[in-house]
Chains A and B, each alone.
Chain A
Amino acid sequence: MAMDAHEIERLIKDGIPDAEVTIRDLAGDGDHYSATVLSASFRGKSRVQQHQLVYAALKGQMGGVLHALALQTGVPEK
């Protein structure tokens, strides 16, 4: 039950084309990741809404195959 970091990044970028995605494999086990996702499309949205967009891009993998993805979202600096 693991997922490749590149696969996570690909799914997020498919769903949110302008996303800047940084993934870290926290435990080195391919199962506990942290992701930072920056996108201009997050502007004006609440944190919950931003995370929901990322989860939607992950197409139901979150909470299933992907057990632990610590997520931080935001709008790019400029």
Chain B
Amino acid sequence: MAIDQFIANEVKSNDVVLFMKGTPQFPMCGFSGQVVQILDYLGVPYKGLNVLENDELRQGIKDYSNWPTVPQLYVKGEFVGGCDIVREMFQAGELQSLLKEKGLPVKESAGA
């Protein structure tokens, strides 16, 4: 399967996907780690894909979204942003609203 098809399939078949360096258990980069912390805090289930394990994926995800860096967060197939945007949205409560709008579970304590 071509890498763009692989990515398209992943982001369509999983509600929340994080392309990252390392894994949710062991992030290998501070920016990826920040997004993991936010998603874990919100308690939303997500799939983490480690771009460090696959050079084709590492480049492919940048081409897919026309976005030069990792991490990249996708919700229901849509590119939400990288670390800065995710953090900004989280702090403004917008990420919580977006997830709820899409019908995804967010811990009540995390607010919205």
Please give the residue numbers on chain A whose beta carbons come within 8 Å of chain B beta carbons, in ascending order: 47-48, 51-52, 55, 60, 62-64, 68, 70-72
Please give the residue numbers on chain B whose beta carbons come within 8 Å of chain A beta carbons, in ascending order: 31, 62, 66-69, 79-85, 88-89
A-B contact pairs, 19 of them (CB 8 A): A47-B85, A48-B67, A48-B79, A48-B80, A51-B85, A52-B67, A55-B68, A60-B68, A62-B68, A62-B69, A63-B62, A63-B68, A63-B69, A68-B31, A70-B83, A70-B84, A71-B84, A72-B84, A72-B88
- What residues of chain A lie closer than 8 Å to B84, measured between beta carbons? 51, 70-72
Q: A63-B62, A72-B88 are in contact. Are A48 and B81 (CB under 8 A)?
A: yes
In contact, B88 and A51 (Cβ under 8 angstroms): no
The listed residue (B31, B66, B80) touching A52 by CB distance below 8 A is: B66
The complex places the Cα of A54 from the Cα of B68 at a distance, in Å, of 11
- What residues of chain B lie closer than 8 Å to A62, measured between beta carbons? 68-69
Interface of A is mostly: mixed
The complex places the Cα of A63 from the Cα of B31 at a distance, in Å, of 13
The complex places the Cα of A56 from the Cα of B94 at a distance, in Å, of 26
Query: Could you tell me the distance in whole angstroms from the C-beta of A12 to the nearest C-beta in chain B?
Result: 14
In contact, B69 and A47 (Cβ under 8 angstroms): no
The complex places the Cα of A64 from the Cα of B58 at a distance, in Å, of 13
The complex places the Cα of A13 from the Cα of B80 at a distance, in Å, of 26
The complex places the Cα of A72 from the Cα of B69 at a distance, in Å, of 15
6 nearest A-B pairs in the assembled complex, by CB-CB distance: A63-B68, A62-B68, A63-B69, A47-B85, A71-B84, A55-B68
- What residues of chain B lie closer than 8 Å to A60, measured between beta carbons? 68
- What residues of chain A lie closer than 8 Å to B80, measured between beta carbons? 48
Given contacts A52-B66, A70-B83, A72-B84, 17 further A-B contacts (CB under 8 A): A47-B88, A48-B67, A48-B79, A48-B80, A48-B81, A48-B85, A51-B67, A51-B84, A51-B85, A52-B67, A55-B67, A55-B68, A60-B68, A62-B68, A62-B69, A63-B69, A64-B68
